[in-house]
Amino acid sequence: MTRQGYAGTMDDRRDHPSTEARPNWVVIAVGSLLTVLIRLRAFWTPITSDEGGFIAIARAWGNGGTLYRDVWVDRPQGLLALFRFWDWVSGGSTASVRIMAMLFGVGLVIAVGVAATALAGRTAGGLAAVLVGITAASPAIEGHLANGELLSGAVAAAGFACACVAVRRPERQWLFVLSGVLGGGALSIKQSGYEGLLAIGLWLVVAVVMHWRTPRDAAGALLRVIVGVGAVIGLLALHGAITGYSRWWFAFAGYRLGQRSAIEGADWDRFFTTARIARPTIWPLLALIALGAVVVAMTHDRRREVCDRDPFEDRTTIGAACLLWLWPVAGAIAFATGGQFHRHYWITLCPGLSALAAGLLARRFRPSLAFGVALVALVPTYVNTFKILHTTDREFPVAASGDNRPNTDERIAAWFRANSRPGDQIYVMCASAGFYADAHEDPVFAYLWQDNVGKVPGALDKLRALLGSQTAAPRFIASYQTSDTCDPSGALGAVVTANYREFTVTDGVAILERISRT
């Protein structure tokens, strides 16, 4: 292997202390502790629709239901397998899903810390871990939830960290395979979890153009990544083929491409709304990047005399800096392709922005000053986070997500347990997926989210047929939304009016009972 073939060889590091390339585990542990403490408050608050829906689908799948037929969601099997495993490990504890969020949050902190260390040194790695530990856990962007962005993002960051180490350590090229496996794992949790893979792919192209790597070396690294990704995606496709390939493909890619993406059905109004909500979390990171970039540019020709010297020099340092910039760029692309711009989408931006901000500050500031500047810049994040954490358990869902349904789900679930007979079923019209997890009931209808009911071809026809059936219709309907909201054509309303009557009202939700025909 030639010196020109790698962005970082053993010769590049021989005169530099070996400790410089090692993560600062003490500071990373501090970042991990902070991210757990921020999320800990949410353990005592109701689960959300997404969390509950994933749990309910995982349980129904475990109880013998066919995935993507009896229960449906536009997510790959990895996410549902993860929830199914967690539900089994936790003994069916619904609240424990927040512990899973804490664990993946810690994983994200460690992965970002390791990646930043490999690319920019110990100070950068520790600072990046603290930054992402605070920002990605912010309840303002639903960082406390076990959502796809957090779970997928943690795995994607771990894959990216493996690739960063492989880039700087030529004797560890096998890590590119592991990077691909983890990148595929991120994709198996959420389709937009490709930011790490995209950053590495783009960097390998740039590395060839800039002569940091030979074409042969870059092709070898890319092939290793592809093998790892292919192994995971191949398993998903195999399971999809066994259970119904067309249904799996529609859930994995068809629905997003045809109904919900940046190209088709993008919700730009929600983008501007959630951008204002995310501003106290994201803008401090952007401000730190701007400050770091200006200082680096102004002192470019001066000799740097700081404690945290980069472990690589000249050409190799430029290559690492390029990879550090590409990560948030790839994260922004992944963020945009989802198209719906919910609050939790903004979590996707936190790892790359944190690493880049930390790398720039560590390059020109002494460690104490870098940490001081960063922690002061995050004051808006602290204030915003504290406002949400300093609420009651029942106020918390509204403050964090603008949604009171988690509270209602718990109350309707309690009502159903108290008033139902063995064999009774209830349908939440037309969506509040968290109810099924709270009630420990398998969904009576495959589509648990209102968007799916209205957008999946044939879903409304199946719902009308179910509620109009003399044998399969559930005894109760909880009218979270009106029939006309779910089906503006009025056809669903006609079926409900003909077959159900109001039984009671609980927590502002009308409970309808099936009209007996006997």
> Does the pLDDT of residue 11 top 80, yes or no?
no
Query: What does the pLDDT read at residue 339?
Result: 85
Contacts of 18 (CB under 8 A, 6+ apart): none
Q: Same domain, yes or no, for 421 and 502?
A: yes
Q: What's phi and psi for 397, nearest 5 deg? A: -60, -35
Q: What are 74's two structure tokens?
A: 């536009």
Contacts of 350 (CB under 8 A, 6+ apart): 132, 135, 136, 143, 153, 281, 282, 285
Query: What does the pLDDT read at residue 212?
Result: 86
Under the banding of pLDDT at 50, 70 and 90, the label for residue 161 is very high
Q: Is residue 137 part of a domain?
A: yes
Query: What does the pLDDT read at residue 115?
Result: 97
The residue among 389, 417, 442 that closes a domain is 389
Q: Which residues in 48-63 are b (16+ Cβ under 10 Å) and which e? A: bbbbbbbbbbbbbbee
Segment 204-238, tens digit of pLDDT = 999 999 888 899 999 999 999 999 999 999 999 99
> Does the pLDDT of residue 398 top 80, yes or no?
yes
Across 248-265, average pLDDT: 83
Q: Same domain, yes or no, for 293 and 348?
A: yes
Under the banding of pLDDT at 50, 70 and 90, the label for residue 301 is low
Sheet holding 500-506, edge to edge: 426-429, 476-479, 509-514, 500-506
Q: Same domain, yes or no, for 298 and 339?
A: yes
What domain range is 455 assigned to?
405-514
Q: Is residue 78 part of a domain?
A: no
Query: What does the pLDDT read at residue 266?
Result: 82
Query: What does the pLDDT read at residue 318?
Result: 75
Q: What is the pTM of this model?
A: 0.92
The owner of tokens 């000799």 is 303
Alpha carbon 460 to chain centroid, angstroms: 29
77-91, 250-264, 442-456, 480-494: range with lowest mean pLDDT = 250-264
The owner of tokens 């093998």 is 227
Q: Same domain, yes or no, for 109 and 35?
A: yes
Question: 3-class secondary structure for 360-424?
Answer: HHHHHCCHHHHHHHHHHHCHHHHHHHHHHHCCCCCCHHHHHHCCCHHHHHHHHHHHHHHHCCCCC
> Does the pLDDT of residue 305 top 50, yes or no?
no
Q: What are 132's two structure tokens?
A: 């992402």
Spatial contact of 167 and 326, defined as CB atoms under 8 Å apart: no
Across 262-287, average pLDDT: 92
Q: Same domain, yes or no, for 226 and 353?
A: yes
Q: Is residue 87 part of a domain?
A: no
> Does the pLDDT of residue 314 top 70, yes or no?
no
Q: Same domain, yes or no, for 507 and 411?
A: yes
Mean pLDDT over each residue of the chain, to the nearest integer: 91
Under the banding of pLDDT at 50, 70 and 90, the label for residue 517 is low
Q: Same domain, yes or no, for 367 and 465?
A: no
The count of structural domains within the chain is 2
Q: Is residue 141 part of a domain?
A: yes
Q: Is residue 410 part of a domain?
A: yes
Query: What does the pLDDT read at residue 302?
Result: 52
Beta strands 476-479 and 426-429, pairing class: parallel
1-10, 143-152, 269-278, 435-444: range with lowest mean pLDDT = 1-10
Q: Same domain, yes or no, for 321 and 452?
A: no
Q: Same domain, yes or no, for 382 and 462?
A: no
> Does the pLDDT of residue 486 top 60, yes or no?
yes
Query: What does the pLDDT read at residue 311?
Result: 37
Query: What does the pLDDT read at residue 300?
Result: 66
Segment 73-97, tens digit of pLDDT = 999 999 999 999 999 999 999 999 9
Q: Same domain, yes or no, for 385 and 440?
A: no
The residue among 389, 416, 434 that closes a domain is 389
Query: What does the pLDDT read at residue 296?
Result: 87
Segment 40-52, tens digit of pLDDT = 999 999 999 999 9
Across 54-66, average pLDDT: 96
Segment 436-452, tens digit of pLDDT = 999 999 999 999 999 89
Across 398-415, average pLDDT: 95
Query: What does the pLDDT read at residue 298?
Result: 86
> Does the pLDDT of residue 109 top 70, yes or no?
yes
Across 269-273, average pLDDT: 94
More confident residue, 411 or 1: 411
Q: Is residue 446 part of a domain?
A: yes
Q: Same domain, yes or no, for 420 and 377?
A: no
Query: What does the pLDDT read at residue 256?
Result: 83
Q: What is the DSSP letter of 449?
A: S
Q: Is residue 162 part of a domain?
A: yes
Q: Same domain, yes or no, for 382 and 297?
A: yes
Query: What does the pLDDT read at residue 264?
Result: 73
Q: Is residue 122 part of a domain?
A: yes
Give the whole-angstrom CA distance, residue 269 versus residue 292.
Answer: 32
Under the banding of pLDDT at 50, 70 and 90, the label for residue 7 is very low
The residue among 389, 424, 448 that closes a domain is 389
> Does the pLDDT of residue 15 top 70, yes or no?
no
Segment 368-382, tens digit of pLDDT = 999 999 999 999 999
